[in-house]
Amino acid sequence: MHISNYRRKFEAVFLLFVIFLLICIGRLLFIQLFKSDFLASIAKKQHSLFVELEPRRGTLFDINNKPLAVNIFVDSVYASPTSIADKNKEAIIRQLSSVLGVSSSALREKLYRKKHFVWLARKISPEQSETIKKLKIKGLGFIKESKRCYPNGYLASHVIGFAGLDNTGLEGLELNYDAYLKGQPGWALFLRDARQNKLDLWEKMVQPSDGYDLVLTIDEVIQYIAERELDKAFKQYRAKGASIVVLDPHTGAVLAFANRPTYDLNDYSSASKDVRRNRLICDMFEPGSVFKIVTASAALEEKKITEEDKIFCENGQYRVANHILHDHTSHGWLTFRQVIEESSNIGTTKVAMMLGQDTVYKYVKLFGFGSKSGIDLGGEISGMVSSPKYWSKVSIANIPIGQGVGVTTLQLANEISIIANGGQLMQPFIVKEIRDQYGEPVKVVEPKMVKKVLSVDTANRIKKILVGVVEEGTGKMAKVLGFSAAGKTGTAQKLEPNGTYSHDKFVASFIGFAPAEDPLIAVAVSVDEPRGSIYGGVVSAPVFKNVALDTLRYLRTKQLPEEILISNETD
């Protein structure tokens, strides 16, 4: 009886073990057949970490291969929330909040996600990185990323622009050439150990493709000279704004390009949109007397007048329709040359009447006004030039002297370059070459002539008149001992919101080139709403003078006497 009971108990226990074994086998078969892929993916996520590999953003160089925008490598910190125990997260949040300067709520939102990877902070400082590493927090890791850095801070800020946190261009050349600069990202699948620590091993990897480098036409030294002199005038006359551009008149290459106010590219987020605005190509204003070059050129090209023909300037007052035209100084009889040298509104208007409105308009357009220059920067406007069919009875008096038209400072630089280079409108450009990571050229930009505007003879005759403006006329403050220069002054009233001309808001301009006989540079300077003095010959001409002198010294031009060069070296 006892043996029989024992046998039944043994059989029952054995049966239970057999049933349990069958259940386990069934469960294993179910997992193998129906859940294997799902569980394998979970295991892979636990032991693998997908990381995007950032490409090196291309470097911007000046014409002499000096870096203007580069990338440096810094740490970015990430967390694996699923590998951090919930009981430890609040302590980690308190520790990191002060170090990273991030709110506790923002960190809490990230650390409580059901994810294996979240960024806590991108591109942190070396000091922040070192502090966090000393905390030895489990579940945190670091990845090296590149950060955009601008070695010269403020220099050429409106040309270079800036790139954001993700190395995407947001302004200037950084934006315009972003497709070339940014490169193509790669990725890697890193292995992790049982404690979720990243190992320096990867299962798969696709290398990133670095961005191309840009070589600019900007010369860092000339850029510094131009910005230094513009800044002096901007501060001295407490102006609202100011712009300067220095061109190679023969090619259209931009040697310097600056605005005031300006900003530090390494701290662009603290600058307002108004400060970041590229006034040189997106601010429109009436040019005033610098525009008289167009009228004078048209008159000589059309053979309507010669330099020594005399014009009666009505002793300072002249009626056109219902409008009384004035000169800033009363003049009687002046030669055509003197009309431009002395910047007579009345004399210029009489010459324009000889030409007629259609011919005046034709040359305004030939000089590039009313059209974009085509410079390789975003945000350029075309200015404003109305067709003759919309002109009023006084337009023939206003437009030839620079009223009733809207221009940019860059368009004025193109205007003076046409005279300097013998009559050609060149397309201005800033990027000379695009190179790959091995320094091999991918694209080389060649100078481009937009159109032939004047004959060489006419350009040379206007050049001589503009030399007279500097030597004997309104541009005497642009004269520099040691070499000849040519140019034109301009002082333009600004329009008030009600459409009337202001009596206390002006734009003071000067455009010129040097040396006059064989120009190396063409310069346009405009100062918006200067105080203390309003005249282009007083406010802007000295900026041209100083920029031209130091630039020509830098370029070692033979136009300067040897003793000036020696003196400059011994200073």
- Joined tokens for residue 304: 């309507």
Q: DSSP characters for 273-327?
A: HHHHS-HHHH--B--GGGGHHHHHHHHHHTTS--TT-EEE-GGGEEEETTEEEE-
Beta bridge partners of 510: 489, 525
Alpha helices in 481-556 (DSSP H): 536-539, 541-554
Q: HEC string of 155-166?
A: CCHHHHCCECCC
- Joined tokens for residue 386: 């109305």
> What are the backbone angles phi and psi of residue 187, rounded to the nearest 5°?
-155, 160
Q: Please report which helix (H) or strand (E) contains residue 396, including its range.
A: helix 395-398
Active-site entry in 289, 343, 526, 540 = 289
Instruction: Say if strands 213-216 and 60-61 run parallel, antiparallel, or are unpaired.
Output: parallel
Alpha-carbon distances, residue 42 vs 37, 195, 413 (angstroms) = 9, 15, 65
What type of residue sits at position 422?
Answer: G
Asked whether the beta carbons of 45 and 116 are under 8 A apart, the reply is yes
Q: DSSP characters for 371-385?
A: S----SSTT----B-
Round to whole Å and give the CA distance between 373 and 367.
10
- Joined tokens for residue 39: 């569980």
- Joined tokens for residue 252: 């259209």
Round to whole Å and give the CA distance between 73 and 560.
46
289 in catalytic set: yes
> What are the backbone angles phi and psi of residue 325, rounded to the nearest 5°?
-90, 135
Instruction: Say if strands 67-79 and 60-61 run parallel, antiparallel, or are unpaired.
Output: antiparallel
Residue 371: burial class (beta carbons within 10 Å; 0-12, 13-18, 19+): middle
Is it true that the peptide bond before 151 is cis, omega within 30 degrees of 0?
A: no
Burial letters 232-241, b for 16+ CB under 10 A, else e? ebbeebebbb
Beta bridge partners of 335: 310
Round to whole Å and give the CA distance between 241 and 526.
9
3-state secondary structure of 349: helix
Active site residues: 289
